[in-house]
Amino acid sequence: MPHPVPSLTVTQGRRLLLAGQALLGPPPAGGLEGLIQQLGYVQLDSINVVERAHHLILGCRIPGYEPAQLEALLAGRRLFEHWTHDAAAIPLQWYPHWHLRFPRSRTRYLASAWWRERVGDQVEPLLALVLERIRAEGPLCSADFEHVREGAPGWWGWKPQKAALEFLWHTGRLAVAGRKHFHKIYDLAERVFPEAHALAAPEPEAHLEWACATALERLGVATPRELAAYWNAVDLAEAGRWCAAAQAAGTIERVELEAPDGGPVRARFAVPDWRERLAALPEPGDRTVILCPFDPIVRDRERALGLFGFDYRFEAFLPEAKRQYGYYVLPILEGDALVGRLDPKFHRDRGVLEVKGLWWEKGIRPTKARLRRLRMALEALAARIGAKEIQ
C-alpha cells in the first residue's frame, strides 16, 4: 500500500523559505560571504531610488552591513558577476557551471534580431576588434569605445561596441573586472579569474544535480518550475526529470502544500529533513523587515502569491498612469507574513527618506504596535542608507 503524501501548512512552507533565505533562524556563519553562499547569489540592479537592490537585500539580513563589504568580496575575487535569472554576484566556486551556459548564450545572442540590429552586419570583425583592444590595453568599459550608433538613443540604444562587450561577457570571453559608477569594466576572463576559468565544465548530469539540489536547499519546498527558475540554469523538463529520480532515490520528498486562501492543496517537493528543520526553527515573532523589490522572497511573483497570498508586481517599468502603487514599492515582512507595502524615495541632497505611500494588506490593521515596529524598520533602513530624517 502506498504511503500517504505528507501535507505542509502554508505557514510551514513560508518558514522553510524564510529560513532558506536567511530571514528566519540564526544568521549564517561566515558573515557576508556566508550569507551570499546561503542565498546562492545576490541580484544586482542599478536603480537607486532608495539604495541599490543588492545592498537592500543584504542590509536587511546582516546587522551593520556596509556596501564596501560587498565591494571588497568582488574586488577580492570571492564572487563573480554573471547572469542567473538576472544580473547577480555569485560565489566563485560555482564558476565552472557557467561554462555550460556560455554556448547557450552565444546561440541565443546570434539568433536575436534585437541584438543583431544593435551590433550591425560585421559581427565577427567587431567582436575581434573589441576583444583585441582589451587584450592589448587591459580592462575597458563601454565609454572607452567612442563610436555612438545613430538613431538609437536611450537606455537600450547600445552602440555596436557595447553590444559586442555584452556578447563577449555573456559567452565567457570577458568577465567583469570591476565597476565605475556602476558601469561594468571588462577584461579577459582568464585574467580576472585565471584558476576558475581554467576549470573544466561539469558533466551535464552533475550540473543538473547541482542546479536542482542547491535550489531546493534554499527554497525548502518547491515545484520543478521553481527549481528550474532559481538559477535559470536548466529547463523545466530537466528539473522534472531530476525531481522524479531524486524522489525515487529518497533524497527529496513529495508533499502537498496548503494554499493561503484555503484552496486545493498543491503538489510540491521538499527537502527530506523538512520536519527536523521546522522543529529547529524559532518562532518568527513580530519583527518587521522592509524588503527590496528584487528580494528572493518576492522576486517569483507566483510563489509569493502561492505562499504569502501577496500579489506583488514591480511597477518601475510601467507608465506612471498604469501603476497601482508606485515606482519602487518595498514589501513589508512582519514575522512570517507579508503585511503591506510602501513607496519610498531617498532625497540624498536633503538627507530625507520620504514615504510617499503606505498600503496594508486586506485584514491587516495599522495598530499602534504595528506602526511602531514599522517605524523601527524605517529607522534601520534610514541608518543604513545615511538618511537623517524620515518624512
Q: How confident is the model over 70-114, as pLDDT tens digits?
A: 999 999 999 999 999 999 999 999 999 999 999 999 999 999 998
Give the per-residue pLDDT at 152: 43
Give the per-residue pLDDT at 26: 84
Summary mean pLDDT of the chain: 94
pLDDT category at 2 given cuts 50, 70, 90 is low
Match 506583488 to its residue by C-alpha cell: 312
Residue 311 is classified by DSSP as -
Q: Is the pLDDT of residue 221 over 50?
A: yes
CA 122 to mean position of chain CA atoms: 35
* pLDDT tens by residue, 10-67: 999 999 999 999 999 888 889 999 999 999 999 999 999 999 999 999 999 998 999 9
Q: Name the segment(s) of the chain with CATH classification 1.10.10.
A: 112-198
Contact status, residue 260 vs residue 308, Cβ threshold 8 Å? yes
Q: Name the segment(s) of the chain with CATH classification 3.40.630.
A: 288-390
Give the per-residue pLDDT at 154: 39
Contact status, residue 301 vs residue 340, Cβ threshold 8 Å? no
* pLDDT tens by residue, 169-211: 999 999 999 999 999 999 999 999 999 999 999 999 999 999 9
Give the per-residue pLDDT at 153: 40
* pLDDT tens by residue, 160-169: 999 999 999 9
Give the per-residue pLDDT at 147: 58
Which residue, 374, 317, 385, 377, is CA-closest to 351?
385
Task: Find the mean pLDDT for residues 222-235.
Answer: 97
* pLDDT tens by residue, 257-271: 998 877 788 899 999
Contacts of 270-277 with C-beta under 8 Å, sequence gap 24+, read 270/6, 270/8, 270/16, 270/216, 270/220, 270/221, 270/222, 271/16, 271/216, 271/217, 271/220, 271/221, 274/8, 274/12, 274/16, 274/220, 274/221, 277/16, 277/19, 277/220
Which residue, 219, 225, 387, is CA-closest to 290?
387
Q: Is 187 helix (H, G, I), strand (E, B) or coil?
A: strand
Give the per-residue pLDDT at 224: 98
What fold characterizes domain 288-390?
Answer: Aminopeptidase (3.40.630)
What fold characterizes domain 112-198?
Answer: Arc Repressor Mutant, subunit A (1.10.10)
